Amino acid sequence: MKMKYWNNLEIKLDNPTIITKDLLKSNINKFWSDIINKLNNNQHVLFILRLRFDNNQMVTASTLKKIDKTNKNDLIDYLYDRISVSNEAYSITPIKSIIFSYGIREGVIDHSINEISTNINTKFQLYYNNKLPIVNLGLPNEYGKVLAENKEQYIINISNKIFIILNTLIKDNQIINKIKFIKNGKEVTNWTDTIIGKNSIVREIGK
């Protein structure tokens, strides 16, 4: 199964309604039937859940996750728990559609770890005596240990007294990460990583 680098599957509801676990589960089952079950055994998916409210405002309801055919129930529990505790608007504002943003990737997930929440080993680029994290897929936890998150912004620990602030968005079917590198409480540098394909990024930094 081959598709473009990033896709949006928007499921419109018959009538705007408050999101419930049953509603989430039924639509995840549809996503599994339409997309996930058609993957071959050497593929997985990068996944983000978005919701469109009745007033047409769209919000991102999850962080970027790596999934395959085997972890549907874990994903449902994670998404509902996140929606339940993250924003009161989800419990009082009707939604009119559920949007599954996803990208199909080659490779098998390591099931010895929980890909719904696990950090990934980080590699680095040496830049003016600073070690800047290198990523393959644009996942926040590829940069380091995620300490806090708020919608599309993440605070990530690199090492002692070194952090980055990451803002992520999807534009023209590409993941774009804007990063501030904080050392000893001061911003040392900043850059932008644009993920253009598997193991392929464009990094804009300095001049």
* Model pLDDT for residues 125-148, shown as the tens digit of each residue: 999 889 899 888 888 888 887 777
pLDDT of residue 119: 46
Does residue 40 contact residue 1 with C-beta atoms inside 8 Å? yes
**Distances, alpha carbon 23 to alpha carbons 14, 16, 50, 138, in Å:** 12, 12, 14, 29
pLDDT for position 167: 94
Q: At what angle do helices 72-86 and 21-34 cross, to 10 degrees?
A: 140
User: How do residues 96-121 score in pLDDT, each as one tens digit?
Assistant: 999 999 999 988 886 554 455 444 56
* 77 closest CA partner among 62, 87, 97: 62
Q: Which candidate, 168, 163, 171, places its Cα nearest to that of 133?
A: 163
Given a cut of 70, the residues of the chain with pLDDT beneath it are 1-4, 84-89, 110-121, 198
Query: All domains of the chain, ordered by start, with CATH?
Result: 7-106 (3.30.1490.100), 123-205 (no CATH)
List, in sequence order, every beta strand (DSSP E) within the chain: 7-17, 43-53, 58-60, 65-67, 95-106, 123-127, 130-134, 145-150, 153-159, 162-171, 174-183, 186-197, 200-205
- Give, in order, the Cα–Cα distances in Å from 94 to each of 2, 98, 122, 167: 34, 11, 40, 27
Q: How far apart are CA 154 and CA 176, in angstroms?
A: 13
CB 50 within 8 A of CB 61: yes
Q: What does the alpha-carbon distance between residue 158 and residue 141 come to, in Å, rounded to a whole number? A: 10
Q: Which residue has the tokens 């998150």?
A: 149
* DSSP conformation class of 81: H
pLDDT at 181: 95
